[in-house]
Chain A
Amino acid sequence: MPRINSPAELEEIRKELLSQRDPDKRTITLCSGSACHATGSRLVAESIEEEIKKQGLIDQVDIRKTGCHGFCERGPIIVIHPDEICYLQIKPEDVPEIISETIKENRIIERLLYTDPATEEEIIHEHEIPFYKNQQRLLFGANITIDPKSIEDYLAIGGYSALVKVLFEMNPEQVLEEIKKSNLRGRGGGGFPAGIKWEGSRNAPDDKKYVIVNADEGDPGAYMDRSLLEGNPHSVLEGLAIGAYTIGAEEGYIYVRQEYPLAVENIGIAIRQAEEYGFLGDNILGSGFNFKVIVHQGAGAFVCGESSALMTALEGRAGEPRPKYIRSNIKGLWEKPTVLNNVETWANVPLIINNGADWFTQYGTEKSKGTKIFSLVGKINNTGLVEVAMGMTLRDIIFKIGGGIPGGKEFKAVQTGGPSGGCLPGDSLDLKVGFDELTQAGSMMGSGGMIIMDEDTCMVDVARYFLNFLTDESCGKCVPCREGVKQMLKILTNITQGKGKEGDIELLEELAEVAREGALCALGQTAPNPFISTLKYFKDEYEAHIKEKKCPALYCKELIEYYIDPEKCRACMICLKQCPADAIIGEKKKIHIIDQEKCTKCNTCFEVCPSRFSAVKKISGEPVPPPISEEERIITRGSN
């Protein structure tokens, strides 16, 4: 591909690309993001290619391996265009039928369609599935239509037109004004206004400046940045180039986790293609603007998602945070003004430039504009990535899009904002999502993780889990985080093990204050949040653990005992045979009992007891009833 030297040449090429594409030609798009990869999309892709060859349709059908569609619960997903027929959970053995029936004969295969659990209605089109219908996919929309390894696909949907606009029609001040007017706030967690950050760097006197994409996404259960980088890498590059032009940087870095091989691969391909076409490099599109981008792979420390630690790691040193009393947009990478924004923030930039700040601000709440991608995981029917306009309620996200809680269980809490976020209870379901709204409720937006918890979740254990993660990921530099959070973890672990004592909550509160006020970086300052928010909304659970040695959710192993209800046991021998500790005593026609001395609380009996009996129970905070007498244990025909 020859280098493009002017906007006119680009439009020429774009026109040619589009003229070669027949919008009515059958195209099978297959989700090839990491989640679908895990459920076998590569094998599906192979069999589609093979089958199309076999049935002699090579000239009539295009195949496009796209990025993540978001509905990961039902992957691998294929969508057949132009009719937009959406099939879910495709296996290689479904493919011959899809080709011969749907592609050749235009017949829909009903069993592969989505069935709305509420109405039992089968839905043909992807955008009509409730999971998608209630979303606002400004950023994520292109993920389902383009092949991330093809710059032509990006150009075909108007890619790099925002870069052309800023380079040839706007000066940096105008770009800055537009970004400021859009009130775009950092999607990585802090919610700091991007325009103000950019302005600081732009006004700094230094000659050398940098821009960075923070793709060191490390929150458990979060993968929105990963999916954007895998599925639409050029949108991130375009945003980054616009940022560089605005602040006067000629060098940019993409700090991406090594554990994201597909993201690393796709962004690498995207950079090479953009260089070939002349969207990166010297004298971009003949504008005189030079900009190069380097990919740096992180070595797996969560704390490197913190901006100062990330920059320290980029400089080649151990990734530890440094004090940020002078902001990194003034003194960042190698002490130079550096604008660091998250993947999603950068991806918003071309949209704002193309459509204008006024278009962008029509979405969202007063102070949080645009959309936000959330990863919806945990006890939720529709696990996946969702993009909604800011201001949607938690209830709509969890129930309308997420499809509610599986197994008829009750919703208990939603944990937002990653490990340092907080847990919000059922009372908060009508909260509108936005940076300030979530913070006021005692949680935070963070990078957009949303973990749904049901009635079986112990909130003290949740706090313990996240503090364990943070203790592990603390860099160890400052005392309030290294020592203080470690002590918090010890106390919480004791509480979940029934060793909690009077004064524990107060000591936890003291330690939380010291970490929040005294720690060096945001990781330490926010590390107590899982404790603070669960204490705020679920204090009764803490007290039950400490005072009554009871786990109300019947989750904490050391605080529960298993018991077979003699009224319900039918002596079916299933639990007895499956018990790995030989702790169940009984025989045919003899009601089973559990030897508490031998029981290891592995939960096997609870799981295997047939639901029509439901004889195995968990008991907490009260003694297990004594076993019934030998005579009473004998089941005689007709008795019970």
Chain B
Amino acid sequence: MSKILMIIDGKEVEANDDMTILEAAQSTGIVIPTLCHHEKLEPYGGCRICTVEVESNGRTKLVAACVYPAEHNLTVRTRSEKIDRIRKMVLQLLLSHAPDSEQLHDLAMEYGADKNRFEKEASFCIHCGLCVRYCNEIKKKDAVGFINRGARREISFIPEVASRECWNCKECFPLCPTAALQAAYVFTEALAASNPPFETESD
């Protein structure tokens, strides 16, 4: 690990070469919005709200700050017209799922996102994967996972594992950015659907 220098929003930032742009920015107090990021979890790069502009070898491109490695002499801009446009659209797309999420509301105010831009969707999951990844990486239980793909993708508790592991844990509930209830709801639904009813651990 060695020290490198980079420019973020015109400010010279000293960072470690094993950091991501997001970590380098955070270390100096520069805020880049995130939704699917969690410091305890492997970077995911799913929500794209942390999109920033980097300039490297004379070329400018948009990258996800949470996964892009910090590089020596890298120039990063965390706000621009284009970045704001992308963040605004990402928020509008997510607000069609979770119009009442506080975290999304705050960001929507900042980026001028209209929560009614798109028709409301049936599921309020925004697929940040925090619950899934937390259960896999930290708890190593895999009681909740993704099923299906694309627009039909959903989070789902695996009843056989969830009935055994989740009652005494529920650590993923507060991670959910749409509402703490989101994970709880899907969890309850999974258990209710399983037959015969699962035993609860009473002692």
Contact = CB atoms under 8 A, between A and B. Distances in A.
Interface in A453-491: 471-480, 482-484, 486-487, 490
B127 A482 contact: yes
B174 interface: no
B150 A480 contact: no
Contacts of A513: 85-86
A487 B118 contact: yes
A476 B125 CA distance: 12
Given A325-B69, A513-B85, A518-B90, A479 B46 contact: yes
Nearest to B96: A483
Interface in A479-528: 479-480, 482-484, 486-487, 490, 510-511, 513-514, 517-520
B64 A520 contact: yes
Contact of B48 (A325, A478, A490): A478
A477 B51 CA distance: 15
A518 B48 contact: yes
A585 interface: no
B50 to A, nearest CB: 10
B130 interface: no
A311 B43 CA distance: 18
A1 interface: no
A326 B43 CA distance: 14
A478 B63 CA distance: 13
Nearest to B71: A325
A602 interface: no
Nearest to A318: B146
Majority DSSP secondary structure for residues of A touching B:
helix
Given A323-B67, A518-B48, A511 B89 contact: yes
Interface string A25-58: 0000000000000000000000000000000000
A482 B85 CA distance: 18
Contacts of A484: 89, 93
B86 A323 contact: no
B149 A476 contact: yes
Nearest to B51: A518
Contact of B151 (A301, A471, A480): A471
B45 A478 contact: yes
Interface string B55-91: 0000000111001110000000000001001100110
Given A476-B127, A514-B89, A518-B86, A323 B150 contact: no
B45 A520 contact: yes
Interface in B94-150: 94, 96-97, 118-119, 126-127, 129, 146, 148-150
Interface residues of B, number: 35
Given A325-B67, A326-B69, A471 B90 contact: no
A510 B89 contact: yes
A303 B44 CA distance: 17
Contacts of A322: 45
Nearest to A320: B149
Nearest to B69: A325
- Chain A CB within 10 A, most for which of B46, B68, B89, B94: B89
B72 to A, nearest CB: 15
- Chain B CB within 10 A, most for which of A473, A477, A480, A510: A477
B153 interface: yes
Contacts of B96: 483
Contact of B85 (A478, A479, A514): A514
A510 B85 CA distance: 9
A293 to B, nearest CB: 29
Contact of B150 (A474, A479, A487): A474
Given A511-B89, A517-B82, A480 B48 contact: yes
A323 B48 contact: no
Contact of A323 (B68, B89, B94): B68
B47 interface: yes
A326 B63 CA distance: 12
Nearest to B150: A474
Given A325-B69, A511-B89, A517-B86, A479 B47 contact: yes
Nearest to A524: B48
Contact of B46 (A471, A473, A477): A477
15 contacts: A323-B64, A471-B151, A474-B149, A474-B151, A475-B153, A477-B44, A477-B45, A479-B126, A479-B127, A482-B127, A482-B153, A514-B85, A517-B62, A518-B86, A520-B64
Which 8 A-B residue pairs are closest in the complex by CB-CB distance? A476-B153, A483-B93, A474-B150, A323-B67, A486-B151, A514-B89, A518-B48, A476-B150
Given A474-B151, A480-B90, A518-B48, 20 more contacts: A318-B146, A323-B43, A323-B64, A325-B63, A325-B67, A475-B149, A475-B150, A476-B127, A476-B148, A476-B149, A476-B153, A479-B93, A482-B151, A483-B94, A483-B151, A486-B150, A490-B119, A510-B89, A517-B62, A520-B46
